[in-house]
Amino acid sequence: MSAQILTVKMENIGNLFKAIAADQKLYLPLEQAGQVQFLPYDPADDSQKVRLDVLNTVRSAKDLFFPQSENMVAFKKQGKKIDIIENREKVEAFTVFGVRACDARSFDILDRVFLSEPVDVSYAERRARGTVVTLACNEPEETCFCETFGIDAAKPDGDITTWIADGLLWWQANTNKGVKLTDKLLSVDAGLFVDSTGEAKALEEQQEKIREIISQLPLHGLSLEYFHKEELKTIFNSPKWQELSEACIGCGTCTFVCPTCQCYDIRDYDTGNGVQRYRCWDSCMYSDFVMMAHGNPRTSQVERFRQRFMHKLVYYPANNEGIFSCVGCGRCLAKCPSSMNIVKVAKTIGGEANV
Amino acid sequence: MQRIGVFVCWCGTNIAATVDIDTVVEAMKYEPGVVHASDYQYMCSEAGQSKIKQAIKEHNLTGIVVCACSPRMHETTFRKAAKAAGLNQYMVEIANIREHCAWIHKDRKEATEKAVVLARTAVAKLNLNTPLTPGESSVVKRALVIGGGIAGIQSALDIAEAGYEVDIVEKQPTIGGKMAQLDKTFPTLDCAACILTPKMVDAASHENINLYTYSEVDSVGGFVGNFNVKIRKKARSVKADICSGCGICTEKCPSRKAENEFNLGLNKRGAIYIPFAQAIPNVPVIDRDQCIKFKTGKCGLCAKVCPADAIDFSQQDEIVEKQYGAVVLATGFNPIKLDNFDEFGYSQSKDVITSLELERIMNAAGPTGGKLLRPSDNGHPHTMVFVQCVGSRDTTGCGKTYCSKICCMYTAKHAMLIREKYPDVDVHVFYIDVRTPGKNFDEFYRRAAEDYGVNYIKGMVGKVAPTNGKLLVQGSDLIADRQLVIEADMVVLATAIEPDQTAKSLATMLTASIDTNNFFTEAHPKLRPVESPTAGVFLSGVCQGPKDIPETVAQASAAAVKVIGLLSKDKLMCNPCVANSNELLCNGCSNCQHVCPYGAIDYVEKEFRAGGKTSLRRVAQVNEAICQGCGACTVVCPSGAMDLKGFTNQQIMAEVDAICR
Amino acid sequence: MSIENKEFKPLIVAFCCNWCSYAGADLAGTSRLAYPAEIKIIRVPCSCRVNPMFVLRAFQRGADGVIIAGCHPGDCHYTTGNYYARRRMTLLFSMLDFFGIEKERTRVDWVSAAEGVKFSTVMNDFSKKIHELGENRRLGDLRCKMPIEK
Amino acid sequence: MQNADREINKEKISVAEMAKQILEQGRADRLMGWKRGEFFYDNSPAVFENLSELDDFVYDLFCGSNLSKFLVKESRKDGKIAVLLKPCDRYSFNQLVKEHRIIKDNVLPVEIDCDGMLDIDKIRALGIKGIKKITVDGDQLQIDTVYGPKTCAREDVLLMKCLTCKDRVGGDRFELVKEIEAMSSVERYEFWRSELSKCIRCNACRNVCPACTCEKCVFDNDKSGIANKANTDSFEESLYHMIRAFHVAGRCTDCGECTRVCPQNIPLHLINRKIIKDLNEFYGEYQAGEDDFSKGPLTRFDLDDVEPDIVMERGGNK
């Protein structure tokens, strides 16, 4: 707790949002038709309901850095002449407020993929322009198991970390991007924050409370060490995959709600006055995923199902110093139509080692 | 990628007047796939077609787009031209820039812009065309003629002459139709019976012609070359093969109350009757509503007196099912009902008659034995008034909008015959315009007006009021510009004619199209006047539109030639734009089978290898000979497995895209 | 065509069945009965060939109105085609209306081969309605409408 | 024509007991039912091959999923499979048999009773979190959570499809549809824009729908012209749901699965119910899957069907 901690009364959190949104776009967990999403905050529109109590948005914050679909390039053809038009979306600076600890960790997992050579230009640009303000979750749910991946839900990382405790919003900048935003806010409205670096006792109590709840969650103590130790081939050839994948209907829900899924497809669309090439999320559960000239390497749902969890628990860790490509946010546990998910897979494949 | 040639037609000035041809040709050069674009004054002419053929060879084109008139006009012409140049005839698309563009837009810029869009759309469709080869289907070497009037008889005779079997179905007990009721025929004034009855006898005796009189068509299935027709032979209650036609039964029959339809109700007939003496077949028919035996069970006198014992009360309707290669419609006409025209007093006085009734009165075989007598008191008329256009050229909605074409000539004929036989009778004719076009027709009318002193009055009749035995005809004389009243003994109304009411149901059965007046629509007034758009159905006589006997006979022979052309082929090229199912996508859910009007789809279990496994799947198969290509199945198929060759989903989507670009 | 400044020029796609309404359109042409040039006709074998996908495709690519013309029920060259089209289009229009798309943007009309006059009056009337409604903003793909620039 | 023969629970024994008997007596080689999940509420559909696997068989308040669509794949394997069908699932089963998507002879349909399944999203919406255990007593639920015990009424957390269950309670299933119809055209447009813009195009609604069983869906087939993987424009969102609603029109049995599985809780069943309401209004009452042989409303017609411009004249749709 060495760095400076500021607090804002919960009642005038609105002014904080207005201050942030003054010169850049601010994304908040807003309610739209009964669902909470990260949507741009519009200071003028007071019908927007900010929902900081909801644990997880259905579309994770990944959508702000790696959107579901984005233009790449367009071609226009006149007779024999083709000209290429760069029409990628221009990204200005933005802040996203209310990111949970698990989602915050997913950015690091995605960075390892998109920011390593060859760098993904549009992802890098969005990451550079975005400031992540995380908010600790006071009421984790039974589907949470971020602790398994060494994430401390009480102390989420991110450019700025905030907590809600004792009617106050506690604000702590961690990175220089965070400091820059804090200084800008202070320069705009000095009275916005109260410096309470010393008396953070209420905050520590809240953090203890969070950690205590997490220790009581049903999935507390779930360990995936089996996937580190066990040899890839035995996991791959386990007979349990057939039984596990029976219920899977091959939709893309688990992949599209997952904050760490990173596969995408590039498609062209003939708009009538030119061809628009764009990138969009793809799901390994789809039957035409990685469809190649000769056909599709994974022809049945068992193989596709196995590929998804092998990638998260075996292939990705193998390439990234053992870091699992899962942050335990629990979205796939809640949203799968057949209630099949990574925890059941881990327990069934891992056997007693994982209980 | 296709190599497409675009040919823009000027159509003389029809298109060039409002569409800037060069802009269209220039615009087409940039369309994807187009390698050649040119224009010509008359693309459908010999020179135009050879320009196309030459361009096909020179640029080795894989498809051509012709921007000209409607495909319904010259699609077959340009397909033949392409075929002659070695190109598959279905790699031809037509952009209709005349009827749908040049003729209906005044502003040149707007019309040109639309022409470019329509041309671009045709090119977009052609890019996705694939060569199609028409399938073949068999031809049944037998024709069906519906209607036994002069039109039906003439067509049947000509077809039979060519050696093909013909069946005539006539709903009256005898063939002959309306012409049998006429006395004399214009312009030669020879008697109708002298022309008609020999043809009726030929028809009856010709070994290739079978007569189904007192019969109706119940249902028609199948399609060109293979019509499957059910004919209902209504029970005559007389054994036709034994009856000698002596007619004793018709004289002895006690029930005399029935109106004689043949004489239009001017006299009565028995319950068992022969319509007229020269009837073919000369076999009586029992009218079961009038016959006392059928109504009360007593009588049966005809059976007793019949020397050949040919009466059979137990006879039932009989359904005959036969196959035909072609169908000729010759259903003829009827005068319209005059309920809407009571100002002429038709329902108030028996002396106000229609022209057809006058034909019966003047006919030697008619109710008055040919003497001109007033129906009310059988007296001799001294003044007769003819009223033209009763119900024809009527825009008020209670009559027919069209001109019935034959009334001016037959009224001139009536006037002339009456003046010649009874010089003491004054004849007045109220007319709007006397229309006697064609060979010897106008001379005929001028002879009636000048030589026979028929008083033609240009004006309309306002009212015919029957007052103490006379008919006060109140009309106007536009030339003398005065109102006048004529005291007449008889008034003859030249009534409008309309198609027989069976036309509507036959059109539905044969899916032949009819117009708002129930006349059958011809495929094209000039290019294909005697064929219905529905392949295998031909039109003969007034069922296609008002016409006189010379034209009817000419059209009847024309229809016969078309039928002979069809029957002479052993194999018929059937429409290749039919449905076909992509078996990899097909779910086998039989939704398409439910909607197919022709039952052309059935299912088969097939082996499929996918992903290393073979699976047995139920897939749809289309019988290309039966499918007519309507496309109902393609829309009800969710996965798009069923598609229509020539109008595929992709092609129509490409057309929509091209239009909205 | 950019949306604001230009005077609104609607784009209307008409699906005409080959046997009746297309022939009706030809007759309207031969009788020189004008109707607006913004109506473009696509020939289909029968009104039952028109797939709701084509109607939605037309709206997607920027059409402001779609009209389907077929034979009068009972006159269909394929005996039953227009009966199916009638049921399907009634359902489509009702669903589009349920999604809040102005219901005057779509229409079905029966025009026989002899009704050139009716064809032209129907097209003029439909085009007038679309003019009143204005540009189709609710059911269109912006990518197809906006020209592609830097 | 008569429906395919089926197994009825005559002696009213427990479902688990029935499952055991069927496998024991060999009346079927495999049985399709539900397997207990990690928590109390996440049961998964599963195929049981032998008695030992039946140990983690479960039939409780959280078996809302409709098993009939799995049979499209399962009935093509050799051997006979028994399937547990709740009253609302039977319509989907009949419809799939009618369309030859299920090979009837390889399946033994077992009709089981059901008195309403629960919706975990509704329980969460009541603010109940950290669920550890749920016990039922009468019409109340005792829920033991990390944040202390909570209770709620069973009636308040029933699945949407159970509120108007065709077998049990007869609520007016078109109530919400009528509400939307009463809105003005602009309001309806706004309502559907805000609902459909949530769609993440995950295809769960299509892959779970028993009426959507195409070998290759038009949205996956590039040659169809409307194939797409993402809602790159607001139009794509509407197009996907409109075309899907249209493909199942006249075949949708209103089983409510699409709304149950939608991760964004979009009320998709309202679109299908609107079409069912229209079909009933225009062409007479019809319940898809009532039997396994009759023709649906869109594959038949009447000579005097209503004209399309009835949509223009009807009141309510301002």
Per residue of chain A (355 residues), what is the pLDDT tens digit?
A: 457 888 888 888 888 999 999 889 999 999 998 899 999 999 888 888 999 989 999 999 999 999 999 999 999 987 778 999 998 888 999 999 999 999 999 999 999 999 999 999 999 999 999 999 999 999 999 899 999 999 999 999 899 999 998 888 999 999 999 999 999 988 888 788 888 887 888 888 999 999 999 998 888 888 888 898 888 899 999 999 999 999 999 999 999 999 999 999 999 998 888 899 999 999 999 988 988 888 888 988 999 999 999 999 999 999 999 999 999 999 999 999 999 989 999 988 887 655 5
User: Distance between CA B182 and CA B194 in Å, rounded?
Assistant: 11
Q: Are residues D104 and D13 in the same domain?
A: yes
Contact C43, C18 (CB under 8 A): yes
Residue D165 lies in a domain: no
Asked if B612 has any chain A CB less than 8 Å from its own CB, the reply is yes
Please indicate whether, in this complex, the C-beta atoms of C60 and D180 are within 8 angstroms of each other.
no
- Mutation choice for A interface testing from D47, D92, D146, D205 by most A CBs within 10 A: D146
ipTM metric: 0.91
Question: Using a CB-CB distance cutoff of 8 angstroms, which residues of chain B are in contact with residue D225?
Answer: 649-650, 653
What residue of B is the nearest CA neighbor of A300?
B611
What residue of B is the nearest CA neighbor of C1?
B661
Please indicate whether, in this complex, the C-beta atoms of D186 and C100 are within 8 angstroms of each other.
yes
Buried b (16+ CB within 10 A) or exposed e, A316-349: bbeeeeeebbbbbbbbbbbbbbbbbbbbbbbbeb
- Mutation choice for A interface testing from B26, B29, B30, B121 by most A CBs within 10 A: B30
What is the DSSP annotation of A253-313? HHHHH-TT---EEEEEEE-SSSEEEEEEE--TTSTTTT-BTTB-S--SHHHHHHHHHHIII
Other Cβ atoms within 10 Å of B622 Cβ, number: 20
A 199-228 → D contacts, CB under 8 A? 213, 216-219
**What type of residue sits at position B586?**
C
Q: Are residues D240 and D271 in the same domain?
A: yes
User: Each residue of B335-356: pLDDT tens digit?
Assistant: 999 999 999 999 999 999 999 9
Asked if B584 has any chain A CB less than 8 Å from its own CB, the reply is no
User: B612 to chain A nearest CA, in Å?
Assistant: 9
Q: Are residues D181 and D297 in the same domain?
A: yes
Domains, chain C, with CATH or none: 12-145 (3.40.50)
Question: Using a CB-CB distance cutoff of 8 angstroms, which residues of chain B are in contact with residue A273?
Answer: 661
The tokens for D135 are 């016990």
Question: Using a CB-CB distance cutoff of 8 angstroms, which residues of chain B are in contact with residue C143?
Answer: none
pLDDT band at D155 (very low <50, low <70, confident <90, very high): confident
- Mutation choice for B interface testing from A299, A301, A302, A303 by most B CBs within 10 A: A299
Q: Are residues D129 and D101 in the same domain?
A: no
Q: Are residues D258 and D209 in the same domain?
A: yes
Residue D258 lies in a domain: yes
Minimum-distance CB partner of B631 among C26, C49, C57: C49
**What type of residue sits at position C107?**
R
**Mean pLDDT, rounded, for B286-300:** 88
User: Distance between CA D189 and CA C97 in Å, rounded?
Assistant: 9
Domains, chain B, with CATH or none: 4-127 (3.40.50), 142-234+317-332+500-567 (3.50.50.60), 248-305 (no CATH), 336-498 (3.50.50.60), 579-644 (3.30.70.20)
User: Each residue of B586-644: pLDDT tens digit?
Assistant: 999 999 999 998 888 999 999 988 767 888 899 999 988 888 899 999 999 999 999 99
Q: Are residues D80 and D134 in the same domain?
A: no
- Mutation choice for C interface testing from D219, D235, D240 by most C CBs within 10 A: D235
Please indicate whether, in this complex, the C-beta atoms of D130 and A35 are within 8 angstroms of each other.
no
**Domain region containing D74:** 7-111
Q: Are residues D146 and D238 in the same domain?
A: no
Residue D242 lies in a domain: yes
User: Distance between CA A40 and CA A25 in Å, rounded?
Assistant: 7
Minimum-distance CB partner of D299 among B587, B588, B594: B594
Q: What is the pLDDT at residue D212?
A: 94
Asked if B72 has any chain C CB less than 8 Å from its own CB, the reply is yes
User: Each residue of B631-660: pLDDT tens digit?
Assistant: 999 999 999 999 999 999 999 999 999 999
Residue D1 lies in a domain: no
C 81-100 → B contacts, CB under 8 A? 81, 84, 88
Q: Are residues D215 and D274 in the same domain?
A: yes
How many domains does chain D divide into? 3
User: C1 to chain A nearest CA, in Å?
Assistant: 11
Minimum-distance CB partner of D235 among C52, C95, C141: C141
Residue D164 lies in a domain: no
The domain limits of chain A are 5-216, 225-354
User: Each residue of B133-181: pLDDT tens digit?
Assistant: 998 888 999 999 999 999 999 999 999 999 999 999 999 999 999 999 9
Q: Are residues D21 and D128 in the same domain?
A: no
User: Distance between CA B522 and CA B512 in Å, rounded?
Assistant: 9
Q: What is the pLDDT at residue D146?
A: 85
Please indicate whether, in this complex, the C-beta atoms of B30 and A270 are within 8 angstroms of each other.
no
Minimum-distance CB partner of A252 among D65, D198, D202: D202
* pLDDT more than 70, % of chain B: 100
**Mean pLDDT, rounded, for B444-472:** 91
Q: Which of D92, D108, D300 minimizes the C-alpha distance to D213?
A: D92
List the B470-477 sheet strands across, edge first: B461-467, B470-477, B482-488
Question: Using a CB-CB distance cutoff of 8 angstroms, which residues of chain C are in contact with residue B70?
Answer: 22, 26, 29
The tokens for D178 are 């009528």
Minimum-distance CB partner of C140 among D235, D301, D307: D235
D 97-156 → C contacts, CB under 8 A? none
The 3-state DSSP class for residue B24 equals helix
